Chain A
Amino acid sequence: MTFQGLKSVLGALCSLRGSRPGVYEAAKKVKSLLAQGDKETAGAELLAALERWPGHSSLEDIKHFLGQRRLQDSLAELHHLEDQALKAHVRTARAFADTDNHEQAAAFVTEALKRFPDCPELHLTLGEIHLRRYLADKIPEDGRRAATCLEQTLHLDRRNPLPLKYLAGLHARIGCFRQATEDLALLDTRQADEAERRYIGELREYCSKRADAEPECDLEPGLTRVWDKGDFFMDCRDWAVPPAPAFGRADVTSILAPIVLLEATARNCVELPGVTAVVIQNEVRSEVVTADGGDVDVTALQNVTRELVAAADDACWRMELGQVRGCDLKTSVGRLALHVFADTWVGLLFADGVSATQVRTVTQQFLDRVAEQIGESHESNS
């Protein structure tokens, strides 16, 4: 009787087992769903099974595995996004550096570096911005910043020869010849062409000789000496100079406009509306072209132009405002617009009563004609 009873209970349990799976079947089902990639159903099945068999190790293991896998997926996605963000920041930094707004560019890259402090490309971009500014204006702070950024780039990416090349050029220019010699010795020249390799060799030899002959000089005193002197200890031609911004406005001060060419342009431009005289000067020469019937004290105009350019240049240098590009004056006898080219400057004297807008328009016409003349001169030379 007892045996019969036990048998019927077992039979009932077996039939029940067929209709409702046990914990191992449930775990197997969840694993199978996961293998098929149906994470949602697997999750729901797992939760249902855990309600029925709370704390069962087969199910708990799967739950733990699911948590880890979700975390891994999330981290991979985040890394991918970070990687994309870094690439976007580097690209934007380059785009900023290709404009002529150096301050905005430096501010962006500095901000980007707070997020990606170990990115050598960002350090290099910032180093190039500061170096470009330093080579233009020789302000020690720019040189200091450039050196810091380039050293950091070098520290993060030893394979890139650019930061060491820039540092070698900077050290040579500011008279740190010992350091320049060491940089040049370490410089990987495999990517350089034959002419550059030869130049690097000559520069190294020159720096080495100067290093032996002169007392040792560090970065800080070197930058100060250049600032006080107003010039570099050697020009290094255009070697180790970061490329100019691809989309920046042309800097008139960097345009080499021969004085003869400017004189020819002045003779054409003196007839422009409102212009009474054009003065063209460099360190040794001065020429004034006056409009027909113009009553201008030529000597006084030459003197005032030279003195004003010198005063503007001095003020900009001492105020750390960079190189003088131009200067406009409104006086009781008319307006005077001065424009500085690389080593030459031009002054356009306007009649009294000419408006500021007209001065701007005519000055721009003059600058455009200078550009045209330079173009024609290049064509005839070639």
Chain B
Amino acid sequence: MKAILENLNHSVGVVGSAVMTHDGMLVTSAIGDRRDEDALTAIGSSLVHSARKSLRSFDASELKLMTIDGSRGRIVLVDAGKAFLLVITDAHVALDATLLDIRSTVGRLKKAISLDV
């Protein structure tokens, strides 16, 4: 699964990525050298947890995709079946193109997760 993330990290503008369960537990991650992997995945887990918790109170809706635009980078969270894929990108990357790579990675992750189970 880490190899799938490392492959995604080669896409234009992708800084790092991680997979976490629906309740925010880290499965695996591949974050670039310049960031603290443990801290980032912990923040990602917390984000998944609070976003899902908030949305459940709103018509019991489930989170499919979330993108946060920061002035220095973006956070993309995508539902990958039994897990969430968290991707950090540069602020100036055209997200549409990168989302294609992210979606294809989600497909591969879903297969990998179902094989693991």
Contacts and interface: CB of A to CB of B under 8 A. Distances in A.
B47 to A, nearest CB: 5
A276 to B, nearest CB: 11
A303 B61 CA distance: 14
B102 to A, nearest CB: 13
Contact of A307 (B54, B74, B90): B54
B25 interface: no
B51 A297 contact: no
A303 B26 CA distance: 27
A327 B68 CA distance: 4
A329 B71 contact: no
A331 B54 contact: no
Interface in B81-103: 88, 90-92
Contact of A329 (B35, B66, B72, B90): B66
Most buried by A among B35, B40, B46, B54: B54
Nearest to A133: B72
Contacts of B46: 311, 314-315
A319 B73 contact: yes
A168 B68 CA distance: 35
A316 B58 contact: no
B11 interface: no
Contacts of B73: 319, 321-322
Interface in A280-332: 297, 300-301, 303-304, 307-308, 311-312, 314-316, 318-332
B58 A300 contact: yes
B27 interface: no
Nearest to A102: B72
B50 interface: yes
A331 B62 contact: yes
A324 B70 contact: yes
Interface string B17-60: 00000000000000000010001100110110011011101110
B117 to A, nearest CB: 23
Contact of A311 (B50, B62, B67): B50
A172 B64 CA distance: 45
Interface residues of A, number: 37
Interface residues of B, number: 34
A92 interface: no
B72 A308 contact: no
B5 to A, nearest CB: 17
B22 to A, nearest CB: 14
Contact of A332 (B39, B43, B64, B66): B64
A244 to B, nearest CB: 13
A310 B40 CA distance: 17
A251 interface: yes
Given A301-B58, A318-B43, A333-B61, A307 B72 contact: no
Contacts of A325: 69-71
B65 interface: yes
Contact of A137 (B35, B72, B74): B72
B61 A327 contact: no
Contacts of A110: none
Nearest to B42: A318
Nearest to B67: A328
Nearest to B56: A304
Given A301-B58, A312-B47, A333-B59, 19 more contacts: A104-B92, A304-B54, A307-B50, A311-B51, A312-B75, A315-B43, A315-B68, A316-B68, A316-B70, A321-B68, A321-B70, A321-B88, A324-B69, A324-B70, A325-B71, A326-B69, A327-B67, A330-B66, A331-B62
Interface of A: 101, 103-104, 133, 136-137, 251, 253, 297, 300-301, 303-304, 307-308, 311-312, 314-316, 318-334
15 contacts: A104-B92, A137-B72, A304-B57, A311-B46, A315-B68, A316-B68, A318-B43, A320-B35, A321-B68, A321-B71, A321-B74, A321-B88, A324-B68, A324-B69, A326-B68
